[in-house]
Structure 1
Amino acid sequence: MATGETVREPDGFREFLAARQAHLLRAAWVLTGDVQLAEDLLQTALVKVLPRWERLARDGALEPYLRKTMINTATSWWRRRWHGEVPSGHVPSLTARRGAGWEPVGGGAEFEAIDDRSVLGAALRALPARQRAVVLLRYYLDMSEAETAVMLGCSQGTVKSQSSKALAALRGRLAPAQRAQEVSV
């Protein structure tokens, strides 16, 4: 497709997005650990899949192909050394803000959920791309080891070892945060 060329919206596109967008965004978030990157990932994958949309929809392979495209795109993004963004500062956690005398209106339950997601997002971003993909497919999309192996093009043994390593890394990163939260309560 040439730059600037317009593409006709395929039949069922809006209906598919209305039904599956939230689920696909959550899957993209598991891969990226960041809300904005998840939105970018889903949009990029949709653009890549759009030329094949009608054939994939007709064959019943649309969503698996879209997920595979998201995984491959996320993997290629993380292979690059620079992602085009430079952090401009650090936002302290809710616990640190409260310790400094800041108290959110209404008690801050919604902010605590955001902090929890931030901690999980950081832990997921620290995983290698392959391990993030295994976590997404096995524990978020509830695929079997065999299905995950087919989706990633590897053996079931690789899925098992990557899953084990990913869970150990997540436990190691999330356990200290959980202990710190329990101590501060």
Structure 2
Amino acid sequence: MVGWDDVDRHSFWAFHEAKDKPYRRIAYIKLGSDADAEDAVDKAFDYIMGRWQWMLGIEHLHQYAWAVLNSKIVDQQRARQRRAEPADIAPFEAILSDGADAYDYLTGTIHFYTAVRRLSERQRDAVILRYGLDYSTRDTALVMGIEEATVRSQLRLARNRLVQLLGIRSSPNEDRKVRT
């Protein structure tokens, strides 16, 4: 930050404050470890800081930052020589406390997560942010640095692909029922 003016410094820290929490949440989901998520996000912000003044001049700053984050997550996965796994066990605990058949739920969830992992990166990110983290379509768009219409489109495409992968029958009208 040496040589930065006050506007650049304040804009970077405002960006950092707005993106830090959602970036850490998505990194945790993709990496399954607080330490790995923290490391990946810190490296992403270090990279962004080094290019911040240049980034202020580009049209899609948020989208570029999202790509940097995803790159650092992949780097972290490679460094640890493992694949990202869904880490949230709260749904399993809720099912067990409800007395439902835990085995059926577990196998269905594993099948679903396997299908989600086969989505394109952008579709998978939209699904994780929108439904896994319960972000609104607007907040999902802000985090990913894309338009709300693009989020809705990615969710629709993801839903159609999941229907196909999971062998679920759906009616044509259900394609329009993506939550906003």
Q: TM-score, normalised by structure 1?
A: 0.45
Q: TM-score, normalised by structure 2?
A: 0.46
Structure 1 or 2, whichever has the larger Rg, is: 1
